[in-house]
Amino acid sequence: MIVLKLGGSVVTDKDRAETLDGEALSRAADAVADALESPSESLAEGLVVVHGGGSFGHHNASEHGVSTTAGTHDPAAIQDIHGAMTTLNAFVRSRLLERDVPAVPIHPFSVGHRDADGELHLPTGQVRTLLEEGFVPVLHGDVIAHAGEGATIVSGDELVAELARALEADRIGLCSTVPGVLDDDNSVIDRIESYGTVADVLGESEATDVTGGMAAKVRALLALEADASIFGLEGLEGFLEGEGAGTTIE
Ligand code: IP8
């Protein structure tokens, strides 16, 4: 099966609070619907979609000083962050449903938690059952119960890694605002087999928010069994149809 992350900055307008990028979201939903019409071997075994926050959730989280490690005990803060993310989740699912993709919600706040070491625990029985019953579960970055911290943030990327491990995904796709992992000349790196080969381009010293984010993504994906790809919206349908797209991380 395939675990697909739709980046928050792909499907929302990052510059305006709680605003969709409706056109991008429709393109993504079209690509998913088209690919599901004649699914590749791994897609036929199921698709789980995870989306990030973009202009939903992140500003609420920073307003309340909540991060993946710093928690809150304020139920109003949890409501703000979770509410923004479930609103975005409903938009994502309705675009998929409009195209007859059998999308159903799973809200991580209601099912998972972090232990006192910050490790994420996400039961996947319902995801597995929904997949077997032909649904496309749609999860999202969220707030999550955290032992000793109240509730912290769980990112879409963490959920993707956890789901891919637990469900033994064949392929993982991260649909991002860039066409892949870029080298110094801004061209897409075709394949990454070890972090050492790309450490210079993704290195901490030059890390802006975006490259820092990409470095963390590449490290996390290298640690997983399944092949992963990072690509832009234009690569989404090809990826779902089984073609190589953007950068493949082995
Ligand atoms: O955009 C974060 O998810 P991400 C979700 O995948 C939040 O980092 C801020 C609640």
Higher pLDDT residue, 133 or 194? 133
Res. 147: pLDDT tops 90 = yes
Give the pLDDT confidence of 6-33 residue by residue, as tens digits.
999 999 998 899 999 999 999 999 999 9
Give the pLDDT of residue 207.
Answer: 37
Give the pLDDT of residue 211.
Answer: 38
Atom of ligand 1 nearest to the CA of 143: 10
Structural domains for the chain: 2-249 (3.40.1160.10)
The verdict on the CB of residue 7 being under 6 Å from ligand 1 is: no
**Percentage of the chain lying above the pLDDT 90 cut:** 79
Give, using CA atoms, the residue closest to atom 10 of ligand 1: 142
**229 CA distance to ligand 1 centroid (A)?**
20
Least confident of 86-90, 147-151, 174-178, 242-246: 242-246
Give the pLDDT confidence of 128-141 residue by residue, as tens digits.
999 999 999 999 99
What is the edge-to-edge ordering of all strands in the sheet holding 113-114?
Answer: 120-121, 113-114, 142-146, 150-154
Give, using CA atoms, the residue closest to atom 9 of ligand 1: 58
State the Cα–Cα distance between residues 46 and 229, nearest whole angstrom: 17
Atom of ligand 1 nearest to the CA of 5: 6
Phi first, then psi: give them for residue 161, nearest 5 degrees. -60, -45
Question: Collapsing DSSP states into helix, strand and coil, what is residue 222?
Answer: helix
State the Cα–Cα distance between residues 47 and 161, nearest whole angstrom: 14
Q: Is-contact 173 164, C-beta < 8 A?
A: no
Give the pLDDT confidence of 198-249 residue by residue, as tens digits.
888 886 544 334 434 788 888 888 889 899 999 999 999 999 999 889 999 9
Determine the Cα angle at 21 with ends 16 and 25, to 5°: 150
Q: Annotated binding site for substrate: which residue ranges?
A: 53, 58, 156
What rounded mean pLDDT belongs to the chain? 92
State the Cα–Cα distance between residues 231 and 238, nearest whole angstrom: 10
Least confident of 82-86, 145-149, 205-209: 205-209
Q: In this predicted complex, what is the ipTM?
A: 0.97
DSSP string, 50-112: EE--TTTTHHHHHHTT--SSS-B--HHHHHHHHHHHHHHHHHHHHHHHHTT--EEE--HHHH-
Atom of ligand 1 nearest to the CA of 159: 6
DSSP string, 129-179: HHHHTT-EEEEE-EEEEETTTEEEEE-HHHHHHHHHHHTT-SEEEEE-SSS
The residue-averaged pLDDT of 180-185 equals: 89
**38 CA distance to ligand 1 centroid (A)?**
31
**HSE-up of 86 (CA within 13 Å, CB side)?**
13
Tracing tokens 């929302």 back to the chain, one arrives at 12
**Percentage of the chain lying above the pLDDT 70 cut:** 96
Determine the Cα angle at 36 with ends 35 and 38, to 5°: 80
The verdict on the CB of residue 156 being under 6 Å from ligand 1 is: yes
The verdict on the CB of residue 108 being under 6 Å from ligand 1 is: no
Tokens matching residue 53: 């926050």
Give the pLDDT of residue 204.
Answer: 59
Res. 115: pLDDT tops 70 = yes
Give the pLDDT of residue 132.
Answer: 97
**216 CA distance to ligand 1 centroid (A)?**
14
Q: What secondary structure letter does DSSP report for 234?
A: G
Atom of ligand 1 nearest to the CA of 61: 9
Atom of ligand 1 nearest to the CA of 8: 1
State the Cα–Cα distance between residues 220 and 30, nearest whole angstrom: 28
The verdict on the CB of residue 72 being under 6 Å from ligand 1 is: no
**100 CA distance to ligand 1 centroid (A)?**
26
